[in-house]
Chains A and B, each alone.
Chain A
Amino acid sequence: MSATPTLPLDLGIGPRAARARRRLLVWVLCCLAITLLLAFGSLIVGTSSIETSLGWLLRPDAEASVVLWQIRLPRTLGAWLAGALLGLAGGIAQGVFRNPLAEPYLLGTASGAALGVTITLIAADASFEGLVWAARLGVTGAACLGAAGATLLTVSLSRGVLQTRSLLLSGVVVAFLLGSITQLLLLSRPEIWRTMQSFLFGSTGFLSWSSAELLGGALCVSIVPALLLARGLDALTLGEDTAQSLGLSLPLLRLALLGIVSIASATAVGQVGVVGFVGLIAPHIVRETLSVNHRQLLIGAPLCGGALLQAADLLSRWVIRPSELPVGAVTACLGGSYLIFLLWRRNRRG
């Protein structure tokens, strides 16, 4: 009846779409600026007794240069990358489970990693062969192995990835089961408890260049397929049946997305321990500040997660300097307060 106008929908082209793109660009630039500021702060704040000032940063002497290049820079970069991985995994998990409370550790990765590390530490303590074996595996390897095992256990318990509810339930069961085994093992070996503490609370103190490389690699490997599959997450918001009727293969989509979540969260846990709340909060912050579809969310959530963990890292070093707080405690405080803020605002809006 009506003739098609020259600009049919103003969807991909036209002023509205251009405005939306500009808003996204400004948001990304703001995020990057905050990240750079935090990175700068992370470089000049630390436990080292050397002078921490702008001049020191610009003209470091030999000792300071080692601190800067071998400790603070990889730590800053690693913290950002780990946060980005957690943010990405959180964004995907919330989309796959269609639940705003979903988080990257939902498949049991965190508890699996903790158990892996505990067993490795006990083995290293018990015998020489165990020590050799543990040294070869490393804490990172043990954590990744444990996380992968836990994910497989969760998926096999729920008999595949098709049933959201049984997958969630199996994740909770596996987390509790592996958590209690870890607790029992730690009770029998109190000397390992202190070492485990830094892992269980999360710590950015062990990040080196090699771990930054590993985290960076994992981020590259996971973000590309995640962005390609973002439209599937959009379709999933309409309901699983509708998504299927649109021509999506639900099992393949879920398998691929949960695979990305496992890789991202296992790598992050392996490097910085169990850092909670970043993966949960980062996608929420993006949604609050930038109304988005999933492609934009999966670009925003890693940027936000990276900045969050960097901020938490900086705070953990600064609050009670010259000593440090566990970074996981700081993220829990930041994340918890943000959730309370969201709740308060929702209540006030009625």
Chain B
Amino acid sequence: MAEAQPRVGGGTSALSCGELSVGYGEHVVIKTLSIGFLPGQWTSIVGPNGCGKSTLLRALAGLEPARSGTIYLQDRALASWPRRARARRIAWLAQTSAISDLTAAEVVGLGRFAHSGWLAHRQAADEAAMYRAMMATGSFAWAHRRMSTLSGGERQRVHLARTLAVEASVMLLDEPTTHLDPPHQEDIVRLLREQARGCGVSVVSAIHDLSLALAADRIVVLGYRGLVGHGTIAEALAGDWLSAAFETPVNVIEHRGAYLWRPSLEAPSAAGAPAQPGIER
């Protein structure tokens, strides 16, 4: 597993946005959103399909231009960072990655691009970072296999290793647990938590599985009409933000300190919501 490397100090946000609006064409997806992501904390972004989770992550990574508002990386406007310096500080994992013919090790090596540059002259530090990342994601065994010969879950772990190998102070992950079987989902969630708590990384992830998303330190709940709430998991559950965001009752059970989403199998009654949405103990 990766050694603990303190990266970002201080109490100010590693990454934050103020009055951020992002949209495509006439459609404004994110409206005047202001959030900060602290170093050493893992934040989950939760919300229904199409509410702008991916768009927010893309905007925070600098891949989607902001309509208005500013994004700050370590108290400096994101746009004013040099490209390579920014890429060393923010690692981004796409929801779906194209299948390439490179080997897994070559893909992970690309995570060191911002460090090693065009000539790909890898230093010992680059190799060590790649090794740590591949061991942490359990993808070392197929380091020399082509990506096109790997299964979806194996590929996802290689891409995760690529984002880890950047050794960035901010990790933006769009659906990091897709294509993974439950034990590996568990590994990834543990890994994210450790990156945040052990290495001081500011981890921001959008995860569909609510039980996994609720394992984070903080949560950003987005609804169709914008931000529902931003705070700790306990605050979110106490305020029943999830039901508000999904516009349907969402049942969450607390079990031995973990929050679990309990799917409701009865058809929702026409008269109104079933009794007692929100948290059960």
Is A320 located at the chain interface by the 8 A CB criterion?
Answer: no
Query: B110's contact among A11, A246, A292, by CB below 8 Å, is which?
Result: A246
Cα distance A241–B97 when bound, in Å?
9
Query: Which of B94, B97, B107, B131 sits near A4, CB closer than 8 Å?
Result: B131
In the bound complex, how far is the Cα of B224 from the Cα of A126, in angstroms?
A: 69
What is the distance, in angstroms, from A18's C-beta to the closest C-beta of chain B? 13
Q: Which residue of A lies closest to B96 (CB)?
A: A239
Contact of A98 among B91, B98, B102, B105 (CB under 8 A): B98
List of A residues within 8 angstroms of B101 by Cβ: 237, 287, 291-292
Q: How far is the CB of B247 from chain A (nearest CB, A)?
A: 30
Query: Are the CB atoms of A9 and B143 closer together than 8 Å?
Result: yes
Q: Is the CB of B127 within 8 A of A11?
A: yes
Question: Which of B17-25, B28-36, B111-119, B180-188 lies at the interface?
Answer: B111-119
B 112-138 binary contact with A (CB < 8 Å = 1; else 0): 011000111010000110111011000
Q: How far is the CA of A238 from the CA of B104 in the complex (A)?
A: 12
Neighbour of A247 across the interface among B106, B113, B131, B132, CB < 8 A: B113
Residues of A within 8 A of B (CB-CB), count: 31
Contacts known (A235-B113, A245-B63, A247-B86); A1 close to B102, Cβ less than 8 A = no
Is A244 part of the contact surface with B, judged by Cβ < 8 Å? yes
B127 touches A242 (CB 8 A): no
Contacts A239-B97, A241-B58, A248-B113 known; A229 to B118 CB distance under 8 Å? yes
Residue of A nearest to B115 (CB): A247
- A324 in the interface (beta carbon within 8 A): no
With known contacts A4-B128, A9-B131, A11-B127, A293–B122 Cβ distance under 8 A: no
What residues of B have a CB within 8 angstroms of the CB of A244 in the complex?
Answer: 63
B98 touches A239 (CB 8 A): yes
Assess the A237–B127 pair: CB atoms within 8 A.
no
A293 touches B128 (CB 8 A): no
Q: Is the CB of B109 within 8 A of A11?
A: yes
Cβ–Cβ < 8 Å partners of A98 in chain B: 98
- Judged by a CB distance under 8 angstroms, whether A2 is at the interface is yes
Contacts known (A2-B135, A4-B131, A237-B101); A247 close to B87, Cβ less than 8 A? yes
Task: Assess whether A247 is in contact with B114, with CB atoms less than 8 Å apart.
Answer: yes
Q: Mark A238-262, 1 if CB is under 8 A from B, else 0.
A: 1101101111110000000000000
The answer to whether B83 and A249 touch across the interface, beta carbons within 8 angstroms, is: yes
Interface pair B119/A238, CB less than 8 Å apart:
no
B130 to chain A, nearest CB (A): 6
When the two chains form their complex, are residues A231 and B118 in contact, meaning their CB atoms are under 8 A apart? yes
Docked pose: A237 CA to B107 CA in angstroms? 10
B92 at the interface (CB under 8 A from A): yes
- Chain A neighbourhood of B103, CB < 8 A: 293
User: How far is A274 from B264 in the complex, measured between Cα atoms in Å?
Assistant: 66
Kindly identify which residue among B102, B114, B131, B132 contacts A246, using a CB–CB cutoff of 8 Å.
Answer: B114
B interface residues, tally (CB under 8 Å): 44
Chain B minimum-CB-distance residue to A231:
B120
Do B127 and A9 have beta carbons less than 8 Å apart?
yes
Q: Is B90 an interface residue (CB 8 A)?
A: yes
Cβ contacts under 8 Å, A55 to chain B: none
Interface residues of A in 83-113 (CB under 8 A from B): 98
Interface membership of B76, Cβ < 8 A: no
A contact residues around B88 at 8 Å (CB): 247
Given contacts A235-B110, A237-B98, A237-B101, contact A245 B122 (CB under 8 A): no
- Contact yes or no, B105 A238, CB < 8 A: no
Q: A9 CA to B122 CA in the complex, in Å?
A: 12
Chain B residues, CB < 8 A from A228: 118-119
- Cβ-based interface call for A350 (8 A): no
Contacts of A247 in B (CB 8 A): 83-84, 86-88, 113-114
Q: Which residues of B contact A159 (CB under 8 A)?
A: none
Task: Name the B residues within 8 Å of A239 (CB-CB).
Answer: 94, 97-98
Cα–Cα distance between A235 and B112 once the two chains are bound (Å) = 11
Instruction: Check B97 against A242 for contact (C-beta < 8 Å).
Output: yes
Cα A232 to Cα B114 with chains together (Å):
11
- Please give the distance in Å from A12's CB to the nearest CB on chain B: 6
B residues near A291, Cβ cutoff 8 Å: 101, 146
Report how far A10 CA is from B142 CA in the complex, Å. Answer: 12
| B122–A12 touching, CB < 8 Å | yes
B83: which A residues are within 8 A, CB to CB?
247-249
Given the contacts A8-B127, A9-B143, A293 and B105 also touching, CB distance less than 8 Å: no
Whether A11 pairs with B87 at a CB distance below 8 angstroms is no
Complex Cα–Cα for A9 and B124 (A): 10
Task: Report A-chain residues with C-beta under 8 Å of the C-beta of B110.
Answer: 231, 234-235, 238, 246
Q: Is the beta-carbon distance between B98 and A232 smaller than 8 angstroms?
A: no
| Chain B residues near A4 (CB-CB < 8 A) | 128, 131-132
**Closest CB pairs A-B (n = 5):** A247-B87, A237-B100, A247-B114, A245-B92, A8-B131
Query: A234-B110, A238-B107, A247-B83 provided; 7 other pairs, C-beta below 8 A?
Result: A16-B144, A228-B118, A237-B98, A239-B98, A241-B92, A245-B90, A292-B101
**Residues of A at under 8 Å CB distance from B?**
1-2, 4, 8-12, 16, 98, 228-229, 231-232, 234-235, 237-239, 241-242, 244-249, 287, 291-293
24 pairs from A and B in contact (CB 8 Å cutoff) = A8-B130, A9-B105, A10-B143, A11-B122, A11-B130, A12-B122, A228-B119, A231-B110, A234-B100, A234-B102, A234-B106, A237-B98, A237-B102, A238-B98, A239-B98, A241-B92, A242-B97, A245-B87, A245-B91, A246-B87, A246-B111, A247-B83, A247-B84, A287-B101
